[in-house]
Amino acid sequence: MPATSNDVIARHDLIEQLIDARHRTDELFAVVKPEALYERPIPERHRIVFYIGHLEAFDWNLLHERVLGLASFHPEFDRLFAFGIDPVGGGMPTDQPSDWPSLAAVRQYVDKIRNVLDERMSEALADSVPPTSEGFPLSTLLEVAIEHRLMHAETLAYMLHQLPLEKKIPQAEVLDLSSSSIAPHSIEIPAGAVTLGLSRTSGLFGWDNEFEAHAVDIPAFAIDQYKVTNRQYLDFMTAGGYETPGLWGDGTNAQDWKWISDRKICHPAFWKRDGDRWMYRTMFEDIPLPLDWPVYVSHAEAKAFARWEGKRLPTEAEWQRAAYGNMLVTESTSPGGQASSNFKPNFKLGNSDFARWSPVSVYASSEGQSPFGVHGMIGNGWEWTSTTFGPFPGFEPFPFYPGYSSDFFDGKHFVMKGGSARTAACMLRPTFRNWFQAHYQYIYTGFRCVSR
Ligand code: AVJ
Ligand code: FE
């Protein structure tokens, strides 16, 4: 099938996007002082150096044989850097810095892959590129490579956030320390339908877990107008939230209580005690706790807060309805070949797409309101839902990346929606689903509560 000129333009555009995404991740590694690149800022994750190799190994493993018909030049590194770790309840990794290849060897591997891909991809683009034997067009594989890298631009930011300040090269950032006297209240969402997921006939790119589209009916409920702030969470702490077992389990299931007791957890990971006051650890400095910023906590902490308020976390479907009403994502490709949906929220104004390192006040912007007047659901921090991550009806794993989602359909991961300051614009789409374990504290994820 000959490629239309629109296809070619679209694919060239994707190569540009891949190159932009490389700049993003290169910039992140440049934040780390070179002598700290073999550190492990988060005990349960890989050392930083792994991710330098991982981003290229991923692109290479995806494309070299399938699309370009090229043999591997370094199978050992292709395997070593193939997968990250997301341990559930297992032990901590014990590898040593000396177990990893030198930086020079890793950088050589990266450069070589970039050179080969860039050369061969433009050649492939000049021809008409047939779908892969698995039936997916080259554009889908490129979107996978781009979004995989951009997701790591965010997960690497979480990781470098935990690296001690003296091991980073600081970047200037003007913090939003505005303070407001707004009294939070909740918004009534009438009973109605919402569509979750993308239809396969839409022609839009989505990950395997975004398909298939399906409608869900939702009874009326009320949802917080704003994300829960550090100020509100501090009230929960002052009221003894971390010392009240009943908030951390329902009697038969006390896993969350066991977790905070065993790990001696008594505050959010981004907070730090300094004498008689709370400090907040931003990416590059410690500052007095900004009370109007959204609180970033694990799912277990969010759930305990909601119980304390006599409320609960929204389901994924409730969150979607509060954010988008009954909007349906159906539209196919536009004339430029760029996929677009029929819904255009004003993403620019939300705190997202790498606009900042830090959150802003939840009251900062009157833009970004949902059709029901709920504020700030997209950007400025992901939001936890009560929904365990699982397949939509009609789910099929991508044959070229079967474990991307299905490895996490284990009842231990929860869906997050929205996006943070470090989420790329492309992943602010309504159907994107993110997920993490209930006890992971290091992510840019807050929440809002619902009642009824
Ligand atoms: C979708 C963010 C949960 O970081 O575990 C990156 C993304 N998967 N490489 C993760 C991912 C494989 C994933 N999240
Ligand atoms: Fe990855």
Name the residue of 50, 81, 151 whose CB sits within 8 Å of the most ligand 1 atoms, as the mutation to test its pocket: 151
Parse the chain into domains and list their residue ranges.
5-167, 186-229+306-451
Res 250 pLDDT > 70 = yes
Q: How far is the CA of 150 from the centre of ligand 2 (A)?
A: 10
C-alpha–C-alpha distance, residues 88 and 255, integer Å? 13
Question: What are the tokens at 261?
Answer: 């007791």
Q: How far is the CA of 407 from the centre of ligand 2 (A)?
A: 13
**Mind listing the pLDDT tens digit for each residue in 426-436?**
999 999 999 99
- Nearest-CA neighbor of 65 among 77, 78, 53, 51? 78
Res 341 pLDDT > 60 = no
Residues 6+ away with beta carbon under 8 Å from 412:
88, 388, 437, 438
Is ligand 1 within 6 A of the CB of residue 427? Answer: no
Q: What percent of the chain has pLDDT over 90?
A: 78
DSSP structural state of residue 263: T
Res 88 pLDDT > 70 = no
- Domain 5-167 homologous superfamily, CATH: dinb family like domain (1.20.120.450)
Question: What are the tokens at 354?
Answer: 């790498």
Round the CA-based radius of gyration of the chain to a whole number and report it: 22
Mean pLDDT score of the chain: 91
Is ligand 1 within 6 A of the CB of residue 373? Answer: no
Please name every residue paired with 168 in a beta bridge, in sequence order, or none if there are none: 32
Question: What are the tokens at 158?
Answer: 């979480």
SS (H, E, C) 391-406: CCCCCCCCCCCCHHHH
Q: Give the C-alpha distances (Å, rounded to integers) separating 41 from 163, 165, 260.
A: 5, 11, 20
Amino acid 339: pLDDT: 40
* DSSP assignment string, 212-251: SPEEEEE--EEEESSPPBHHHHHHHHHTTGGG-GGGG--S
Task: Identify which ligand lies nearest to the alpha carbon of 57.
Answer: 2
Confidence of residue 4 (pLDDT cuts 50, 70, 90): low
- Nearest-CA neighbor of 170 among 358, 42, 19? 358
Is ligand 1 within 6 A of the CB of residue 212? Answer: no
Is ligand 1 within 6 A of the CB of residue 151? Answer: yes
Amino acid 350: pLDDT: 81
Q: What angle do CA 282, 287, 290 make, to 5 degrees?
A: 85
Amino acid 9: pLDDT: 65
**Could you identify the atom of ligand 1 that is nearest to the CA of residue 413?**
3
Q: Label residues 122-146 b or e (16+ Cβ within 10 Å = b).
A: eebbeeebeebeeebbbbbbbbbbb
> Is the CB of residue 302 less than 8 Å from the CB of residue 447?
yes
Extended strands (E) in 295-422: 382-388, 413-417
Task: Identify which ligand lies nearest to the alpha carbon of 50.
Answer: 2
Question: What are the tokens at 353?
Answer: 């797409």
Is ligand 1 within 6 A of the CB of residue 155? Answer: yes
Amino acid 273: pLDDT: 97
- Domain 186-229+306-451 homologous superfamily, CATH: paralog of FGE (formylglycine-generating enzyme) (3.90.1580.10)
Long-range (24+ apart) CB contacts under 8 A made by 340-349 are 340/204, 341/204, 341/429, 341/430, 343/430, 345/378, 347/378, 347/379, 347/425, 347/428
395, amino acid identity = F
Instruction: Answer yes or no: same fold for 5-167 and 186-229+306-451.
Output: no
Which run of H or of E encompasses 186? strand 186-189
Instruction: Quickly count: other Cβ atoms within 10 Å of residue 326's Cβ.
Output: 13
Q: How far is the CA of 429 from the centre of ligand 1 (A)?
A: 17
Q: Give the C-alpha distances (Å, rounded to integers) separating 211 from 75, 92, 406.
A: 33, 34, 13
Read off the pTM: 0.93
**Mind listing the pLDDT tens digit for each residue in 392-425?**
999 999 999 999 999 999 999 999 999 999 999 9
Higher pLDDT, 295 or 44: 295
Q: How far is the CA of 184 from the centre of ligand 2 (A)?
A: 38
Is ligand 1 within 6 A of the CB of residue 403? Answer: no
Going by their DSSP bridges, the two strands 192-196 and 214-218 should be labelled as antiparallel
Amino acid 1: pLDDT: 44
Res 20 pLDDT > 70 = yes
Is ligand 1 within 6 A of the CB of residue 84? Answer: yes
Amino acid 8: pLDDT: 63
Rounded to 10°, the helix 5-29/138-161 angle is 20
**Could you identify the atom of ligand 1 that is nearest to the CA of residue 435?**
3
Please name every residue paired with 196 in a beta bridge, in sequence order, or none if there are none: 214
